[in-house]
């Protein structure tokens, strides 16, 4: 838990404080996203938490202990830090970069090695292929992955991330966001995340702290930020397309339904006839619930070839992960011209489908219940 109480920061030569009387609390295991226009004090706030910058007044404590009571370097060893410009050490390999904090903490060599491999897997980089590369041999997205892996190396309970996915294209960013959320679900760090992109804030945040001119304007859940903005500034900052932004907030797991009939690959054709009356399509699964494709039942029956239904299986070009947002789902539908998309769990097993009507009705409901 991070508690910020009455914290202000005056830089020399500035007539107003960069951060002014900030009060907020980030709960254990939550992601708090700081968002606001450029120069509003997001980075300054974040850097005060690991004492890169000392506050002019006020108290910051982590798990109830004033951070001034720690030795500054000791404190930082326990806090993961991802800076805006990634800041990988160019003369170190990927391995050496990630190993910095574990080595500073005196971990044994084999433990460091296995941790680095584990982390590279976590951020979806092949360890054997990338471990001994230098940063200048990596793409922008790969660098950011290594930056995140490096920050997480020694299992910090607190992470500070300053626009960690800033410098990459939208597709890679989306992917990094999804991977990070999936990861966070497992490790439950207390995270302070800075961005200037409200969409990213809505997607990543358990709580959002909207700042302006060094002051905290609203600190609330994404839902409340979207539907009960405290003043005009927040309303304007969120934008007029709230219904679309909601898509970023909701995950497919919350609306997905398992209503589509499923059939095992190779099973008896009698099932097909059973389906015939109530559905046009059925999902085909392997024995271990892996997705095989789908079949168009009408077509099979038309062709009078029910016995050989397995020859009519079509595969899906795209699937969604359980952590995908409704926006991901919409984009996938529009780009691939599909109305229904299957959803797979972390082990790539089939768990359900989403379709356009489900999104439409769900967003409508959400909008109505929260808006009054």
Partner 1 sequence: MSTLKYFIKNIDKITDLTMEHIELISLAMCFALIIWISIGILIRNHNKLANGLLGVASIIMSIPSISIYGILVTIPGFGLSRLSAVFALVLYAMLPIMRNVYLALNEVDESIIEAARGMGMKKNQILWKIQLPLAFPIIFAGVRVALVMMVGIATLAVYIGERNLGRLIQQGITRTHMDMVLTGGLLVAILAIVVDGVMALIQKKLISPGLHLDS
Ligand X SMILES: Nc1ncnc2c1ncn2[C@@H]1O[C@H](COP(=O)(O)OP(=O)(O)OP(=O)(O)O)[C@@H](O)[C@H]1O
State yes or no: residue 89 binds partner 1 (CB under 8 A).
yes
Among 22, 32, 43, 326, binds ligand X (CB under 6 A): 43
Q: Which does 41 bind (CB under 5 to 8 A by kind): partner 1, Mg ion, ligand X, none?
A: ligand X
State yes or no: residue 165 binds partner 1 (CB under 8 A).
no
State yes or no: residue 10 binds partner 1 (CB under 8 A).
no
State yes or no: residue 248 binds ligand X (CB under 6 A).
no
Among 18, 30, 81, 163, binds partner 1 (CB under 8 A): 81
Instruction: Check if the beta carbon of residue 41 is closer than 8 Å to that of residue 66.
Output: no
The two tokens of residue 132 are 């001994």
Q: Which does 50 bind (CB under 5 to 8 A by kind): Mg ion, ligand X, partner 1, none?
A: partner 1
* 192 vs 28: CA distance, rounded Å: 11
Distances (CA, A) of 226 to 75, 242, 261, 337, 346: 35, 6, 36, 29, 29
Among 13, 106, 108, 136, binds partner 1 (CB under 8 A): 136
216 or 285: whose CB is closer to ligand X? 216
Instruction: Check if the beta carbon of residue 281 is closer than 8 Å to that of residue 294.
Output: yes
Among 5, 25, 124, 134, binds partner 1 (CB under 8 A): 134
Cα dihedral 107→111→117→119 (10° resolution):
-50
53 or 77: whose CB is closer to Mg ion? 53
Instruction: Check if the beta carbon of residue 217 is closer than 8 Å to that of residue 291.
Output: no
The DSSP bridge pattern shows strands 65-66 and 57-62 to be antiparallel
Q: Which residue is nearest to Mg ion (CB)?
A: 43
State yes or no: residue 113 binds partner 1 (CB under 8 A).
no
Alpha-helix residue ranges (DSSP H) falling in the chain = 42-49, 72-77, 94-104, 109-122, 127-130, 140-152, 170-187, 198-204, 222-227, 232-238, 242-249, 252-255, 270-276, 297-302, 326-336, 356-371
The two tokens of residue 220 are 């609330």
CA 338 to chain centre: 25
Query: What's the min distance (Å) between Cβ of 4 and ligand X?
Result: 14
State yes or no: residue 325 binds ligand X (CB under 6 A).
no
Among 6, 39, 140, 364, binds ligand X (CB under 6 A): 39
Binding site for Mg ion (CB under 5 A): 43
Q: Say if residue 342 is exposed, middle or buried (CB neighbours under 10 Å; 0-12, 13-18, 19+).
A: buried
| Residues in 171-230 at the binding interface with ligand X, rule: CB under 6 A | 196
Comparing CA positions, the residue from 290, 295, 262, 265 lying closest to residue 280 is: 295
Query: What's the min distance (Å) between Cβ of 347 and ligand X?
Result: 38
Among 22, 75, 272, 300, binds partner 1 (CB under 8 A): 75
Among 104, 187, 334, 371, binds partner 1 (CB under 8 A): 104
Q: How many CA atoms lie within 13 A of 127 on its CB side?
A: 14
State yes or no: residue 101 binds partner 1 (CB under 8 A).
yes
Stretch that binds partner 1, among 84-92, 115-123, 272-280, 285-293 (CB under 8 A): 84-92
167 or 338: whose CB is closer to partner 1? 167
Q: Give the interface with ligand X as residue ranges (CB under 6 A).
A: 11, 14, 18, 38-44, 196
Q: Give the interface with partner 1 as residue ranges (CB under 8 A).
A: 50, 52, 73-79, 81, 83-93, 100-101, 104, 134-137, 150-151, 160
């Amino acid at each position: 838990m991070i508690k910020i109480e009455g914290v202000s920061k005056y830089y020399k030569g500035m007539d107003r404080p960069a951060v002014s009387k900030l009060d907020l609390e980030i709960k254990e295991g939550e992601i708090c996203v700081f968002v606001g226009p450029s120069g509003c004090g997001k980075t300054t706030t974040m850097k005060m938490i690991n004492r890169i910058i000392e506050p002019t007044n006020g108290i910051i404590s982590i798990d109830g202990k004033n951070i001034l009571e720690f030795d500054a370097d000791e404190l930082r060893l326990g806090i993961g830090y991802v800076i805006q410009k990634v800041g990988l050490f160019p003369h170190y390999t990927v391995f050496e970069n990630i190993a910095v904090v574990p080595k500073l903490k005196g971990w044994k060599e084999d433990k460091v090695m296995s941790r680095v491999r584990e982390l590279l897997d976590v951020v979806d980089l092949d360890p054997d292929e990338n471990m001994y590369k230098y940063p200048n041999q990596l793409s922008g997205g790969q660098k950011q992955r290594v930056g995140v892996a490096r920050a997480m190396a020694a299992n910090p309970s607190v992470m500070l991330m300053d626009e960690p996915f800033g410098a990459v294209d939208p597709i890679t960013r989306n992917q990094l966001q999804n991977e990070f959320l999936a990861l966070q679900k497992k490790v439950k760090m207390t995270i302070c995340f800075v961005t200037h992109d409200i969409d990213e804030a809505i997607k990543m945040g358990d709580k959002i702290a909207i700042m302006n001119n060094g002051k905290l304007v609203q600190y609330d859940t994404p839902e409340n930020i979207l539907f009960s903005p405290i003043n005009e500034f927040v309303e304007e900052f969120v934008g007029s397309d709230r219904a679309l932004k909601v898509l970023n907030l909701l995950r497919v797991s919350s609306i997905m339904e398992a209503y589509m009939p499923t059939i095992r690959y190779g099973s008896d054709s009698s099932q097909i006839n059973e389906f015939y009356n109530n559905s046009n399509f059925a999902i085909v699964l392997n024995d271990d619930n892996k997705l095989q494709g789908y079949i168009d039942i009408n077509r099979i029956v038309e062709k009078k070839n029910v016995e050989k239904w397995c020859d009519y299986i079509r595969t899906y070009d795209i699937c969604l992960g359980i952590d995908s947002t409704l926006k991901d789902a919409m984009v996938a539908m529009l780009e691939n011209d599909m109305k229904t998309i299957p959803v797979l769990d972390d082990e790539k097993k089939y768990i359900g489908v989403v379709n356009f009507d489900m999104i439409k009705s769900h967003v409508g409901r959400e909008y109505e219940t929260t808006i009054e």
